[in-house]
Amino acid sequence: METDRFKDFLKVEKRRSTRTIDAYLDAVARFQKYVKKNVLLVAETDVRCYVRHLVRKNLKNSTVNQRIVGVKAFFQWLVDVEKRLPASPVPSGLSLKISEPMIEIPTREEIERMISSAKMLRDKAMIAILASSGLRISELLKLTKININADTGEIQIINGKGGRHRRSFMDTRALRFYREYAGQVDGNQLFSIGVRHAWYIVKESARRANITKRVWPHVLRHFFCTLMGRAGMSDTDLSKFSGHKNVNTLARYKNYDSVSQGEIYKKFSEKSEALTV
């Protein structure tokens, strides 16, 4: 079936996460159910009508956009890989405007309180690493002992978002928690929990620390980027650590010297010590 081949393409060629693959396949299935026609006969008007249909259902703009992205990826696959269509019926620029939610960045003192209030050593290590490395929660949960240099705090992120590789670092405090926690872990896998559990740990630690701001794992990534940015780290260097994709950093993982990157992290980590965010 087409969707089976599309799924294999996403998994093997594009190296998308299971969550992304499921979302794309769900979007395609919903679209096919709506149009009720062979995908090779779908026209641009069908796609636009479908988007209007989603809007009339009062779905969030972000949800509509997610479904558009999945359908667009499917038709682009039919064009570029399957060679069964001359062009995609999904017009470029077809998306709804989304208002960016206001994110309140925790202060350094609040991060310290979260770490202190965390119940388990595992949770303390998790929060400290997220806040000092810029890792996504999905990247953190895939870490093994092999990915971390216990002497320098260097972290190798293998198959991050979009299947990309990069490196980051954790600060000395996070490294102390990591060493102590890793010493208690049997085997290679560090965090044998799911994303929902990780969300609960972060939110519960914030609650126990009496932090009124909304805090979830990705906010700790924002904390890292904000702190390093205010310490003076360039956008180019910051993207190398955080894995943000943009036109200035497309070749960020190729021929990049790990020693110099470690020196950059150390320099701005020390500068950020004086900041409260």
- Tens digits of residue pLDDT in 134-176: 899 999 999 999 999 999 999 998 866 666 788 899 999 999 9
Same domain membership, residue 191 and residue 133: yes
Give me the domain span that covers residue 202: 108-272
Same domain membership, residue 118 and residue 175: yes
- The count of domains in the chain is 2
Same domain membership, residue 213 and residue 146: yes
Same domain membership, residue 209 and residue 162: yes
Q: Which residues pair with 169 in a beta bridge?
A: 154
Same domain membership, residue 153 and residue 50: no
- CA-based R_g, the chain, Å: 21
Is 193 or 244 the better-scoring residue by pLDDT? 193
- Give this prediction's pTM: 0.64
CATH number at residue 48: 1.10.150.130
Do the domain assignments include residue 33? yes
> Where would I find the beta strands (DSSP E) of the chain?
154-157, 166-169
Mean pLDDT over all residues of the chain? 86
Upper half-sphere CA count for residue 266 (Cβ side, 13 Å)? 9
Q: Are 262 and 171 in contact (CB under 8 A)?
A: no
CATH number at residue 155: 1.10.443.10
- Tens digits of residue pLDDT in 171-200: 999 999 999 999 999 999 999 999 999 999
Q: How many CB atoms neighbour CB 233 within 10 A?
A: 22
Q: What Å distances lie between residue 248 and 6, 44, 234, 245, CA to CA? A: 30, 33, 11, 8
Same domain membership, residue 242 and residue 148: yes
**Distance in angstroms (rounded) separating the CA atoms of residues 191 and 207:** 22
